[in-house]
């Protein structure tokens, strides 16, 4: 348990938040994301994505749709020399899930399940790790999992008022100084 990781929310951090993004044509990389991930990788951080995918639970798109977009995303990072170590996603929703997707899961943020699973699989020390998210549920998940620095990126939807985040930033490049 001594590796360090940069945990990343997907929608609103890797790509622009547009509500239930599941098609390549709607997937728009955020300004600065390649630069931040290149720095993180060079500084020895594993790159782990943790994303709630309630759109699957709600029947808006399938797990296959998610995986094809995900593979495309990983390929775009690879082209830039960036290796995403793993993407964890939670397809469940506690009240709006259909069929098997109706489930109250600790893997759904604010639950810490995805982060804890990654820590176990990769031998990550949460205390040495960072998390970047755009919602309070991201921050809560990181705090519960014991992540050392939980960073909130302000957005048009959430200005961080009342946040428990350790740091609030206005653009992604502000993550770089925290990568040590
Ligand atoms: Mg988000």
Active-site residue, 9 included: yes
Ligand 1 centroid vs 153 CA: distance in angstroms? 9
Burial of 82 by CB count in 10 Å (0-12 exposed, 13-18 middle, 19+ buried)? Answer: middle
pLDDT for res 87: 98
- Read off the tokens for 22: 């599941």
Q: Can you tell me the distance from the alpha carbon of 141 to that of 143, in angstroms, rounded to the nearest whole number?
A: 6
Ligand 1 centroid vs 32 CA: distance in angstroms? 16
Ligand 1 centroid vs 17 CA: distance in angstroms? 7
pTM for the whole structure: 0.98
Residue carrying the six token digits 């755009």: 134
pLDDT digits (tens, 9 = 90+) for 68-85: 999 999 999 999 999 999
Q: Stretch 53-78: mean pLDDT, rounded? A: 98
Helix (H) or strand (E) holding 160: none
Residues 116 and 124: beta-carbon distance below 8 Å: no
Q: Which position among 9, 19, 138, 166 bears the catalytic label?
A: 9
pLDDT digits (tens, 9 = 90+) for 132-171: 999 999 999 999 999 999 999 999 999 999 999 999 999 9
pLDDT for res 1: 73
- What is the overall mean pLDDT for the chain? 98
pLDDT digits (tens, 9 = 90+) for 23-36: 999 999 999 999 99
Residue among 42, 38, 15 nearest 153 (CA): 15
Q: pLDDT grade, residue 128 (50/70/90)?
A: very high
């Amino acid at each position: 348990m001594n590796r360090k990781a940069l945990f990343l929310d997907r929608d609103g951090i890797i790509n622009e938040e547009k509500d239930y993004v599941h098609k390549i044509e709607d997937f728009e990389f955020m300004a600065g994301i390649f630069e931040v991930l290149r720095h993180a990788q060079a500084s020895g951080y594993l790159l782990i994505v943790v994303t709630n995918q309630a759109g699957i639970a709600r029947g808006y798109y399938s797990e296959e749709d998610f995986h094809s977009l995900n593979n495309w995303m990983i390929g775009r990072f690879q082209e830039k020399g960036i290796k995403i170590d793993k993407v964890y996603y939670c397809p469940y929703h506690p009240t709006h899930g259909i069929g098997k997707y109706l489930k109250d899961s600790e893997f759904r943020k604010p639950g810490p399940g995805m982060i804890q699973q990654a820590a176990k699989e990769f031998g990550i020390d949460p205390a040495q790790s960072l998390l970047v998210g755009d919602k309070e549920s991201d921050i809560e998940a990181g705090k519960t999992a014991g992540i050392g620095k939980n960073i909130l990126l302000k957005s048009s939807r959430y200005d961080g008022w009342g946040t428990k985040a350790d740091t609030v930033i206005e653009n992604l490049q502000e993550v770089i100084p925290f990568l040590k």
